[in-house]
Structure 1
Amino acid sequence: MTVRQPTPVGQTVGIKVPPTAVVIFGASGDLTHRKIIPAFYHLQKNGHLPDGMAIIGFARREQSEQQFREGLRQSLEDFSHTQPIDQSVWTALESHLYYHKGDLSNPEDYVALAERLRTLPEASAFRENHLFYLATAPNFFPVVAENLGKAGLHAREGVTGCRRLIVEKPFGTDLPSARSLNETLHKVFPERCIFRIDHYLGKENVQNLLYFRFGNSIFEPLWDRRYIDHVQITVAETQTIGSRGGYYDMAGASRDMLQNHLMQLFTLIAMEPPASLEAESIRDEKVKVLRSVPTPTSEEVLRNSVRAQYGPGILGGRTVRPYREEDRVSRRSLTETYVCLRLEIDNWRWSGVPFYLRTGKALSQQYTEICIVFHRPPCVLFAHSLKHIARNWLKIRIQPIEGIHLLFNTKVPAQPLIQEARMNFYYRRQDHYFPEAYERLLLDALIGESTLFTRSDEVEQAWRIVDAVQEAWKEEELDRLPLYAPGSMGPVEAEELLRREGRRWGDPPCEEEEQLLE
């Protein structure tokens, strides 16, 4: 198969990154070491970072600049997706890494940071181009933003450069908190300067959704209620909650995954064609999808959702405790580690087409995919040989083995029977470099390309839907949630949700897929 060089979403092609000072708040944390610094290393390695860049780590830990650099070097050894580390690339990046000891809650430390930025060796190059990365606990998001404003480091009139803010998820815990956070951030940074990061949008096959849909005349005419029976979106994880019990027991699968990752995939697969590939055109259409989802009543939520917890069992050869016995989890917890939700979009294209969104911990396989299931063809011609013809489906695999798969029906050789056949496309068979999600998203933020970031109204609309689900669940008088076995694909109730409408979940990836790539 011949594959032409793809064009990325957005406007990053051919645009040079301006010299910028990047300040990472929470620089001693896991995110900085696992994702952010490896992303900057690969940007440096691929020639995307200009001279005049400076990266400043801001944290409370007492350490020297050399200790900070050595710790980051070790993180590259542990977490970079390319090995071995190129020492010449690291040396070039290391010379622009700095450490600034500060307390996130102390306004004076931000004043000192502002002075540090003015006196760095690269200051004459980056001037007032600043990118502030909030790699902190969520409760510090408004604190950091307000203190940046007090120190004069916010985006304002008279600043000759660009000052931008990257905010990690979770963006609020419900609709009121998301609105409050938006209001706080907007006091110091306008919406165009706020980049709410969702790493799923940086994945190659997520970016490919727009090109696949709108760049192929054989698929887009079929992309509506006339031909599509239903859509399945799955984000399956094999990990348990691990050491995240304190956070997870307050969030659950609906807040941790449904409100952001699954809603992003949902909007991209259902959106109308945008007027252009510019950020606002794409984001406008994504918001329209969410606004077209009616706020479900409690009765609708309880009929169209499933929540459950993983119980005890064996997963990957090791014993798994039930969720309620995990560290820092309430022994009476009703927090879900699995959620399945049936949604409908009240517009012309999708009226009557159900979308099934599911995600869970401790499942049998780790994968993310969108499955478009088409209407079953009439069986009149083949009634003598079979009762049903398999539905055609189109699977877009986001991870781990990115690809596109099509199932269709064909004749069995030498017999008057029908069999299923598949056509498979695998991204990694192409001779292209695959950037990690954070690498792509950081590059976009540096040049101000916001297509792959979430806008404030999109966040709020997603919370509107998830809040309705949470409120309905609160009204249930339950002592415990249904349990599912670790290493399964979830509770039987999720299977029944589809079965009662004559549908079933698509099969997870088969082990043969990895062999196909060898």
Structure 2
Amino acid sequence: MQTDSSFTFVLFGGTGDLSMRKILPALFEAHRAGGMLADSGKIVAVARHVADRSEYLQWVNEHVKPHVSKNGVDEAAWASFLARIEFAKIDLGNPDDFVLLRDAVKDLPGIRVFYLATGPSLFVPICRALASVGLNENARIVLEKPLGYDLKSSNAINDAVGEIFAEEQIYRIDHYLGKEPVQNLLALRFGNALFEPLWRREWVESIQITIAEELGVEARGDFYDNTGALRDMVQNHLLQLLSIVAMEPPHSMDSDSVRDEKLRVLRALKPINPLDIGKVAVRGQYHSGVIRGNAVPAYATEPGVKQNSTTETFVALKVEIENWRWAGVPFFLRTGKRLADRVAEIVVNFRPVPHSALGASALRAGANRLVIRLQPNETIRLYCLAKQPGEGMNLASVHLDLAFDQFFREGQMEAYQRLLLDVINGRLALFVRRDEQEAAWRWVEPILNEWKASNKPPKPYASGTWGPAAASAMLAQHGTCWLEEEN
């Protein structure tokens, strides 16, 4: 993925946690690889908590280095990366300071990328301030989630940003779409005759999509208590993964062809009847428990969380897609904090054979499945049945690993690295279009409204478990279970 695209990458929130853990490490890895970033490309960090460039580089040395190059840092590459970095001390609350930013970047080359690694309340003021000094020309803007609290607030942000930047200039980032297995899911489906004919209701029994975290809310109690798992994870990450799994083959991989097909999935989601929410939606909140031998506190006692909070930290949903490909196939979505393991995966359960001359084991659910693991290790595994060695026709489950690292010498690219390179090179396919975001909010809002109106507390679950028992019961009603429960 070599490029000659010159760029000036302006990073708002330059001292923030996201910049330190993800954005700058991703840019360093692209720089270290050679050829991915134009030699003339510059990074301009914007912050107000440090005095000047020298102090900022000290901050970067202290806070970014621990997150780069697992096998150690190449000091020559690190030094040349730091040489790319400039610094602008700016108070984002003072529009007059943006004149200083304009002066700092006016002589720097190439397309300007403005990455807003800030709270969403600053998105519109920053965009307006950029426009006031003419910096919205020849530019791209990257917006992190959450983009709004509901459909109305999301539209308000999009309307305001859309007055300043054209839609093709706006990159709404969802880092799950940049993960290697998600890209390989597209390759498996649309590049091979083996999978696509099976990717439909006649052969797929159910699909599970899980994003589970061991961590709690950590230092984000104030933010999380006003957000909850449905807004924080389902409206964006899980529904985006769902749309990738269920989309029709696009006529090409250009940005609008891919996003048009994702949008059709989101618009085909069956609306959840408020009277049925108790059957198809489970919300939970973690209590104290033990994770990997360490005692952890209940959500209600976390710093920043309101007393008697009813914010959910766990959501499980049964989702249906009303189209010919997927009619009648349940999609089970699940996300939560303080769960038993950190894992993100997509599980495609194929239907058992209609008749078996080999015994009942060939008819059991889950005998044939595809598991796409997104984290912590990125793998794709195909499960099937094979004869056990020895006498008789005894079947056992075996799996085929799609081990890409054994076929390709290049190391897997981290999600943020891929997505930042796509921004610099003007590739929009892996970013969320406004109409996708609106469709997701329209589907999610009735659930939010019903939970608020019912005023029922979330179901408790002990930290270190897989969530409320009701989430397992929901799948049991359909004759299935979560993947980890089979063992």
TM over 0.5: yes
Q: Aligned-pair distance for 1:437?
A: 1.3
Partner of 1:220: 196
AA of the residue aligned to 2:420: L
Q: Which amino acid letter does the alignment assign opposite residue 144 of structure 1?
A: I
Q: Does structure 1 conserve the Cα–Cα contact (< 8 Å) formed by 2:370 and 2:383?
A: yes
Alpha-carbon separation, structure 1, partners of 2:301 and 2:423 = 41
**What is the DSSP-based 3-state SS (H/G/I as helix, E as strand, rest coil) of the residue aligned with 1:503?**
coil
Q: Residue 270 and residue 386 in structure 1: after superposition, are their counterparts in 2 closer, same or farther (change >3 A)?
A: closer
User: For residues 307-351 of structure 1, what are the alpha-carbon distances to aligned partners after superposition, in whole Å with 9 as ceiling and x for unaligned?
Assistant: 101111111221111111111112211111110011111111001
**Counterpart of 1:103 in structure 2: which amino acid?**
D
Aligned equivalent of 1:150? 132
Match among 237, 240, 260 for residue 261 of structure 1: 237
Deviation at 1:421, TM superposition (A): 2.4
Distance 1:111 1:188, change over 3 A: same
Q: What SS class does the counterpart of residue 233 from structure 1 fall into?
A: strand
In structure 2, the residue matched to 1:20 is 7
Q: Distance in 2 between matches of 1:138 and 1:229?
A: 39
Provide the aligned C-alpha RMSD in A.
Answer: 1.8
Distance 1:250 1:265 in 2: 24
Per-residue CA deviation, residues 65-114 of structure 1 (Å, 9 max, x unaligned), is: 10101211223321114342222212222222111111112111112211
Q: Using the alignment, how far apart are the partners of 2:483 and 2:434 within structure 1?
A: 33
- Partner amino acid, structure 1, of 2:121: N
Q: What SS does the corresponding residue of 1:376 show, helix, strand or coil? A: coil
Aligned residue runs from structure 1 range 64-143, under 5 A: 64-119=52-107, 123=108, 125-126=109-110, 129-143=111-125
Q: Which amino acid aligns with 2:396?
A: Q
Q: How far, CA to CA, are the matches of 1:429 and 1:444 in structure 2? A: 26
**Aligned CA distance change for structure 1 residues 422 and 300 (closer, same or farther; 3 Å):** same
CA contact (8 A) 2:353 2:362 kept: no
Partner-residue secondary structure (3-state), 1:507: helix
- What is the letter of the counterpart of residue 244 of structure 1? R
Instruction: Tell me the SS of whatever aligns to 1:381.
Output: coil
Tell me how far 1:186 sits from its aligned partner.
0.8
Distance of 1:73 and 1:394 partners within structure 2: 42
Matched with 2:329 is 353
Question: Is residue 278 of structure 2 the alignment partner of residue 295 of structure 1?
Answer: no
Is the 8 Å Cα contact of residues 341 and 357 (structure 1) preserved in structure 2?
A: yes
- What is the correspondence of 1:417-456 to structure 2 with a 5 Å cutoff? 417-430=394-407, 431-456=409-434
Cα deviation, residue 390, structure 1? 4.0
Tell me, yes or no, if the aligned pair for 1:299 and 1:472 is still in contact at 8 Å: no
Residue-by-residue CA offset, 1:496-517 (whole Å, 9 max, x unaligned): 001011111112899xxxxxxx
Any idea what the Cα deviations from partners look like across 1:426-483, whole Å, max 9, x if unmatched? 33444321222111111110011111111111111111111121112112242x3211
3-state SS of paired residue (1:55): strand
- Report how many aligned residue pairs link the two structures: 483
Alignment of 1:369-518 (within 5 A): 369-379=345-355, 381=357, 388-391=363-366, 392-412=368-388, 413-430=390-407, 431-478=409-456, 480-507=457-484
- Partner-residue secondary structure (3-state), 1:88: helix
AA aligned opposite 1:323:
Y
Q: For 2:71 and 2:357, locate their aligned partners in 1 and report how far apart those are by CA, in whole Å.
A: 57
1:188 equivalent in structure 2: 164
List alignment gaps of at least 5 residues for structure 1.
1-12, 156-161, 511-518
Secondary structure in structure 2 of the residue aligned to 1:358? strand
Partners of 1:305 and 1:254 in 2: CA distance: 10
Does the 8 Å contact 2:52/2:89 carry over to 1? no
User: Larger deviation: 355-364 or 418-427?
Assistant: 418-427
1:194 CA displacement? 0.5
Q: Give, in whole Å, the separation in 2 of the partners of 1:30 and 1:53.
A: 23
Instruction: Give the conservation status (yes or no) of the 8 Å contact 2:143–2:171.
Output: yes
Q: 1:358 to 1:386 in 2, by over 3 A?
A: closer
